[in-house]
Amino acid sequence: MSTETASSHIFRGESHAASRQLEQLRGTLHGTLVMPHDPDYDEARRVWNGTVDKRPAMIIYCADADDVVAAVASSAVNTG
């Protein structure tokens, strides 16, 4: 197996694992999960300071304390 093929295989595996984690997070939330491909993403990422233009991987509107715990746990997993 070539290096390129091996690395693509690993990337697909990581991508599939991340998709599973994302779907698991989505299933546990009581609030709303906004992703970059969602139509309301640009509005959700906008902050009061117009000079800030960040593009987070996801935005979670937490509905309760359990959502906060899930969001923080998700952040720890995604940042390593």
What are the domain boundaries of the chain?
3-79
SS3 59: strand
Domain 3-79 fold is 3.30.43
- The predicted structure's pLDDT at residue 44: 94
- The predicted structure's pLDDT at residue 37: 94
- The predicted structure's pLDDT at residue 8: 40
Look up residue 34 and give its DSSP letter: E
- Give dist(CA 7, CA 58) in Å, integer: 25
Please state the separation of Cα 53 from the chain's center in Å.
Answer: 18
Res 2 pLDDT > 50 = no
pLDDT tens digits along 6-59? 444 444 555 778 788 888 999 999 999 999 999 999 999 998 888 989 999 999
